Structures are given as structure tokens and as C-alpha cells.
């Protein structure tokens, strides 16, 4: 969704309380809250709900490589922040030969006391732990060839303007070069619009609940926070 379109839908309501640069700052802060809340609501259900998967697929990345000799690897590229791995496989000649499951600390400690569960590549027993930010650790602590799919946090959308002073007023001109559009799929457009309007005080709770219900959320959803 173009951030300018969302601004157009919301700016008239914001003008009742804010003006000029304050209005832009207010809009961007609410937009950051909306993206964060939507992601927190939907991401726990990724892989369990096909409609939720449709919403979040844009934020899924793939990475292939080999970990360091101690089993560590950095997930993600550039400024992307990884939410969590979705699935990791052990590869040979580029082909996945077995899945690598995640493991909790207590499970990992217990596995070393049980020979049948102890990390051992030759027995196709490999585990991983994800440590933020963006760090994956394999067990046993050896070089592990892998293919990984992981979920990243959405890039922060925002709008920017240039300001020109005239004798009569300050003119705001949309600055496309310094704005960032929303990268969510079109299926999320109504959710984003309704959540933005709700954030700035427009009473549209029923419409918002209806949008959430399309993705399998129940009517007792706590709007403004995570799904219940």
C-alpha cells in the first residue's frame, strides 16, 4: 500500500488534533504501532493458518550456507531483523536430507545424558537454538550445511514532506524519496486502514473486528494488543 494513500485516508482526522510537522510525526508513530501490533497478532499463527500465511509471506526469507566451525551462523542480511526461523534443514550437495528441530535449553542439556538423543551428525541428530539478534547456534558445535526459512520484522513504513513557507501559509509537499511505502500484501489493506483510523480516535471497532474474523480470529480479539 502506498503510504501517501494511507495518509490521505487519515490526515483529515489527524488535523483535528495536530498540524504541520506534528501531524506527520503523529501519523508515523501510529503507523509504527499498527505494523507492530499486526505482526505480533499474526506471526504466532504462521504455519497454522493459510490466510495468516498469505499476510506474512512477504516477510519470509530463505538462506543457504554453512555455519562456522563452532556451529554459529548469522541469519538475515542488511538491516533486516529476524523474528525467528520457521524451518531449517541439514543439506548435502544443496539437497535437504533431514530437518533440524529447535531445542530449549533444558531439552538440550537432557539430550546429552541420553545417547539416543545426543547431538550427532552421523546419526542425523542436529538441533538449533535461535538467539536474538539474528544468531542461530547448531548442536553439535560443528560446521553445519543448512537451508533455512525465517520470518523478519516488517520494514518501518513512514511518510515525509518538504515544507515551503509562503506569505499566507506553510505548504507541505509529499517527499517520495524519503518516504517508505508499506510492503504488506493487498489482503492486509483494510486491516491497516481500520487500525490506523482506530488509533487516531475514529470509532470503527466493528469493522476492524470483522476484518480480523476473516483471518480466523475470534470476536474477543483485544484490539490494540495481541490476539487472545
pLDDT tens for 134-182 read: 899 999 999 999 999 999 999 999 999 998 877 777 788 999 999 999 9
The pLDDT of residue 227 is above 50 = no
Q: Please give the pLDDT value at position 17.
A: 55
Give one word for 124, left, alpha or beta, with left for phi > 0 and alpha for psi -120 to 50: left
What pLDDT is stored for residue 156 in this prediction? 92
| CB 83 within 8 Å of CB 151 | yes
Query: Which string of DSSP letters, residue by residue, matches the chain?
Result: --HHHHHHHHHHHHTTT--HHHHHHHHHHHHHHHHHHHHHHHGGGTTT-HHHHHHHGGGEEEEEEE--TTSEEE-S-TT--EEEEEEEEEEETTEEEEEE-B--HHHHHHHTTSTTTS-BGGGTB-EEEEETTTEEEEESSS--EEEEEEEEPPP--B--EEEEE-SS-EEEEE-GGG-B---S-GGGHHHHHHHHHHHTT---HHHHHHHHHTTT--TT--TTS---
* pLDDT, tens digit, 9 for 90 and up, residues 40-53: 999 988 888 888 89
C-alpha cell belonging to residue 89: 534443514
The answer to whether the CB of 134 falls within 8 A of the CB of 67 is: no
Q: pLDDT class for 79, splitting at 50, 70, 90?
A: confident
Write out pLDDT tens, residues 16-38: 655 566 889 989 999 999 999 99
| Residues sharing a CB contact under 8 Å with residue 76, sequence separation 6 or more, in sequence order | 61, 63, 82, 134, 150, 152
d(CA 8, CA 179): 14
Regarding predicted confidence, which is higher, 132 or 119? 119
Cβ-Cβ contacts under 8 Å for 213 (sequence gap 6 or more)? 219
Give exposure, 11-43, as e/b (b: 16+ Cβ within 10 Å): beebeeebeeeebbebbbebbeebbebbbebbb
Amino acid at each position: 500500500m502506498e503510504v501517501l494513500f494511507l495518509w490521505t485516508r487519515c490526515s483529515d482526522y489527524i488535523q483535528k488534533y495536530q498540524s504541520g510537522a506534528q501531524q506527520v510525526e503523529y501519523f508515523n508513530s501510529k503507523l509504527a504501532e499498527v505494523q507492530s501490533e499486526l505482526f505480533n497478532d499474526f506471526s504466532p499463527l504462521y504455519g497454522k493458518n493459510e490466510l495468516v500465511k498469505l499476510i506474512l509471506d512477504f516477510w519470509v526469507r530463505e538462506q543457504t550456507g554453512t555455519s562456522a566451525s563452532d556451529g554459529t551462523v548469522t541469519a538475515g542480511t542488511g538491516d533486516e531483523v529476524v523474528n525467528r526461523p520457521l524451518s531449517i534443514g541439514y543439506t548435502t550437495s544443496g539437497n535437504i536430507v533431514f530437518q533440524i528441530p529447535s531445542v530449549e535449553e533444558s531439552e538440550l542439556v537432557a539430550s546429552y545424558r541420553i545417547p539416543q538423543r545426543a547431538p550427532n551428525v552421523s546419526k542425523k541428530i542436529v538441533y538449533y537454538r535461535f538467539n536474538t539478534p539474528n544468531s542461530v547456534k547448531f548442536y553439535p558445535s560443528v560446521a553445519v550445511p543448512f537451508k533455512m526459512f525465517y520470518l523478519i520484522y516488517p520494514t518501518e513504513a513512514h511518510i515525509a514532506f518538504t515544507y515551503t513557507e509562503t506569505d499566507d501559509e506553510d505548504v507541505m509537499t509529499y517527499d517520495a524519496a524519503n518516504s517508505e511505502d508499506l510492503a504488506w500484501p493487498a489482503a492486509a489493506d483494510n486491516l491497516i486502514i481500520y487500525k490506523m483510523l482506530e488509533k487516531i480516535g475514529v470509532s470503527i471497532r466493528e469493522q476492524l473486528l470483522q476484518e480480523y474474523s476473516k483471518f480466523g480470529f475470534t470476536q474477543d480479539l483485544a484490539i490494540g494488543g495481541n490476539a487472545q
